[in-house]
Structure 1
Amino acid sequence: MRSRFRSDPRLTVRMTVTLFLLGLLYVAFVVALVLLLKSWVLVVVVAAGLLGAQYWFSDRIALFAMRGRVVEREEYPELHAVVDRLCALADMPKPVVAVSVMEMPNAFATGRNPDNAVVCVTTGLLRRLEPAELEGVLAHELSHVAHKDVAVITVASFLGVIAGLIVRFALYSGLFGGRRDQNTAAVLAAIMGVSITVYALSFLLIRALSRYRELAADRAAALLTGRPSALASALTKVSGDIARIPTRDLRTAQAFNAFYFTPAAGREPGIERIFSTHPPLRQRVEQLARISAELGEAATPGRD
């Protein structure tokens, strides 16, 4: 079923190209491991099993990691009301609604498709935003669900996760594995080299896709609600408040930056922006200002 969120052909093309390139990289990675380990059954079974687990259980993993819990309408009636209204407006299934007790103001969506999706907000976000701003943030997250880019990012990130785990295992083996012959050491070094290369390439591909998907979600949310200035206000407010949260409190959240409404980072990216999961705040706000001008929206962010 298609939702009323504005389709984005450029996002579709980017997701398709990224998945195609990552697929080629995945095949090359598996072939390299098979040649090095000389056991294609082990490599394929383990890789397929982990990919399936990440795809089917990504929503539970993300909720558990971010200490989110499913909440019923009786607990958070206003939150459910906003989600109900947006889903009716977008003509899409209502996702499971969850809340994470966390000071960091943020939100994320996860799940393999619109029928198996979760939208989670933090208590820090609920305390800070006005109703129109919260609506903009939730519309942004629902756009991710409707465009199925949550599932794409989940699958796309799998390759980097596996490569990273192999690098850690190789390092651990090198440090604690004791004495070994030269052939074993050479194989471990080769596996580590291939894994580092695969991780770096997949990392850059996913970051490039992630930055565009955030712009696409901002645009879709602004057009659905008709209030881009409210979303811009939420972006500015949340980004400013996150910058004031101690870095140590953000470290556990940064691993999930690709899923967040805005990254759990204490400052705007500079030259390292090519490694960022999100475009700069200025770029997002400027896009929303252009949409606001196109819609002829009044300048007041929180207007009704």
Structure 2
Amino acid sequence: MNYARTALLLAAMTGLFVAIGWMVGGQSGMVVSFLLALAMNAFAYWNSDRMVLSMYGARQVDSNSAPGLHAMVARLAGRAGLPMPKVFIIDSPQPNAFATGRDPEHASVAATTGLLNLLSPEEVEGVMAHELAHVKNRDTLIMTITATIAGAIGMIAQFGMFFGGSHRNDENGGSPLGAVGMLLVAIIAPMAAMLVQMAISRGREYAADAEGAAICGNPLWLASALARLDAGVHAIPNHRAEANPATAHLFIVNPLAGGAVDSLFSTHPSMANRIDALRRMTAAAPPPMPPRGFGRRRGPWG
């Protein structure tokens, strides 16, 4: 997905938010929704990284507390031409990782203890390269803004269902829709927002896989990591992610329960498709690394 299409999808998401404001509160509701969208985007721009990291209890590490991981990220960042991001570890048995931050100068990458215990150093390098690709492509800001607006659309649609749809007309500042219309809005609007969010997220995942493979220098490291992570997230739940599903698209692998196909409502592309695309990037793909079991530490992560 190119940046022009991403910009159009973001505009569509904002337009949907404003339209729902009109449905809930008429012209005054439309104005309030537009101002609220601007305020939320500004808030997400400056504070989204701290919110997400705090939500998952991430702890920052350095060259003393996690020498291997910190040195690996520094090496990959230099190879990608990026400033050194902050590095975090999340105490979670589910193997996963994500990146956040409004720009490369204020970026953070986070990996779970489950990921560091499960993967080989080469596979961890592939995952960290993928996350740095998101930073390089500025996907972290794009995906955070979409999550913020999508969550707000669901909130305002529910608000309209309970408090809108009265007999008041648009001239009095009420909803131009009736109770049945507001019920339909409450059902359809969040689904439409989710579809736009998924279209943005899934396209950026394919781009980050390709860029990450180029950064780490071996597409099969990332392909092997994705296969292992896919099995891990289905075996081990992530309760914090389940409580905050709007953040699921930030992770390299969907932390929520889901199918293996490119379903319409999946935050991530099919894992088989992602792995096949990575394997096609190398002329002679050796067989994937054999499973080594859960719970074994593979590097000096600290």
Shorter-chain TM band: 0.7 to 0.9
Structure 2 distance, partners of 1:27, 1:182, is: 22
One of 193, 210, 216 as aligned partner of 2:201: 210
Residue 226 of structure 1 deviates from its aligned partner by 1.9
SS in 2 for 1:119: strand
Flag the 1:21–1:171 CA change in 2: closer, same or farther, 3 A. Answer: closer
Flag the 1:110–1:181 CA change in 2: closer, same or farther, 3 A. Answer: closer
Structure 1 distance, partners of 2:217, 2:4, is: 26
Instruction: Check if 1:63 corresponds to 2:50.
Output: no
**Equivalent residues of 1:140, 1:217 under 8 A apart:** yes
Residue 81 of structure 1 deviates from its aligned partner by 0.5
Residue 108 of structure 1 aligns with which residue? 98
Structure 1 distance, partners of 2:94, 2:197, is: 24
- Range moving further from structure 2, 41-50 or 87-96: 41-50
One of 13, 24, 32 as aligned partner of 1:22: 13
Residue 136 of structure 1 aligns with which residue? 126
Residue 94 of structure 1 deviates from its aligned partner by 1.2
Flag the 1:12–1:191 CA change in 2: closer, same or farther, 3 A. Answer: same
Flag the 1:60–1:254 CA change in 2: closer, same or farther, 3 A. Answer: same
Residue 185 of structure 1 deviates from its aligned partner by 8.5
Residue 47 of structure 1 aligns with which residue? 37
The size of the alignment, in residue pairs, is 284
- Range moving further from structure 2, 283-292 or 38-47: 38-47
Query: RCO higher in 1 or 2 (8 Å CA, sep ≥ 6)?
Result: 2
SS in 1 for 2:156: helix
Letter in 1 for 2:277: Q
Which structure shows the bigger proportion of residues in helix conformation? 1
Letter in 2 for 1:278: H
Structure 1 distance, partners of 2:207, 2:159, is: 37
**Equivalent residues of 2:99, 2:108 under 8 A apart:** yes
RMSD: 2.8
Q: TM-score, normalised by structure 1?
A: 0.82
One of 206, 215, 220 as aligned partner of 1:224: 215
Deviations 1:232-272 (A, max 9, x none): 111111111111125867623644211001001345344x7
Deviations 1:49-102 (A, max 9, x none): 222212211101111111112222211111100100001111111111111111
Residue 268 of structure 2 aligns with which residue? 278
Residue 281 of structure 1 deviates from its aligned partner by 1.0
- Range moving further from structure 2, 40-49 or 130-139: 40-49
Instruction: Check if 1:265 corresponds to 2:260.
Output: no
Structure 2 distance, partners of 1:222, 1:57, is: 30
**Equivalent residues of 2:13, 2:150 under 8 A apart:** no
Residue 298 of structure 1 deviates from its aligned partner by 4.8
Flag the 1:246–1:152 CA change in 2: closer, same or farther, 3 A. Answer: closer
Structure 2 distance, partners of 1:63, 1:188, is: 41
Flag the 1:269–1:99 CA change in 2: closer, same or farther, 3 A. Answer: same
Letter in 2 for 1:216: A
SS in 2 for 1:275: coil
**Equivalent residues of 1:11, 1:216 under 8 A apart:** no
Letter in 1 for 2:80: A
Taking only the aligned residue pairs, the percentage that are identical comes to 32
One of 234, 238, 242 as aligned partner of 2:229: 238
Q: TM-score, normalised by structure 2?
A: 0.83
Structure 1 distance, partners of 2:61, 2:153, is: 35
Letter in 2 for 1:281: M
SS in 1 for 2:88: strand
- Range moving further from structure 2, 185-194 or 230-239: 185-194
Segments of 5+ residues of structure 2 without an aligned counterpart are: 169-173, 291-302
SS in 1 for 2:100: strand
Residue 4 of structure 1 aligns with which residue? none
